[in-house]
């Protein structure tokens, strides 16, 4: 259910999803600097970026 909510948030409210992703990315200690920058660039893609981050990057919005 949480995944479905995150996908809908990423599609319809991308600016909020983007900010939540960036906050999560910056707080992660398992990523290096370049990895963080790349994930931030990927999450900038409207609708698809945050979904990729949640599914492939082992991330979360909250």
**pLDDT tens digits, 10-57:** 778 888 888 888 999 999 999 999 999 999 998 888 778 888 888 887
What pLDDT, on a 0 to 100 scale, did the predictor assign at position 32?
A: 94
The domains of the chain are located at 2-56
Short-list 32, 62, 46, CA closest to 54: 62
pTM: 0.76
Give the whole-angstrom CA distance, residue 27 versus residue 12.
24
Q: Is 1 exposed, middle or buried (0-12, 13-18, 19+ CB in 10 A)?
A: exposed
Residues contacting residue 46 through CB under 8 Å, at least 6 positions apart: 14
């Amino acid at each position: 259910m949480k995944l479905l909510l995150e996908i809908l948030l990423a599609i319809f409210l991308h600016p909020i999803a983007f900010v939540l992703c960036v906050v999560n990315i910056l707080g992660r200690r398992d990523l290096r600097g370049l990895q963080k920058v790349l994930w931030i660039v990927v999450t900038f893609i409207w609708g698809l970026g945050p979904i990729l981050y949640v599914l492939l990057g082992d991330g979360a919005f909250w």
